Amino acid sequence: MSIMIPAWVDGVLVPVEKLEAHQKGLRHKAVSVFVLRGPEMLLQQRALGKYHTPGLWANTCCTHPDWDEDPLTCAVRRLDEELGIKGLAPDFRQNLEYRADVGDNLIEHEVVDVFVAHAGDNFTMTPNPDEVMAAEWVHHAEVRKRIAQTPDAFTPWMRIYMSEHADAIFGVELTG
Which of the residues are catalytic?
A: 62, 110
Pairing relation of β-strands 57-58 and 40-46?
A: antiparallel
Burial 52-87 (b: 16+ CB within 10 A, else e): bbeebbbbbbbbbbbeebebbebbbbbbbebbebee
What size, in residues, is the chain? 176
Alpha-carbon separation of residue 36 from 33, 90, 130 (angstroms): 10, 10, 23
**What CA–CA distance (Å, rounded) separates 164 from 128?**
29
**What CA–CA distance (Å, rounded) separates 71 from 95?**
11
**What CA–CA distance (Å, rounded) separates 140 from 130?**
26
> Which residue, among 87, 102, 113, has the nearest Cα to 18 in the 3D structure?
102
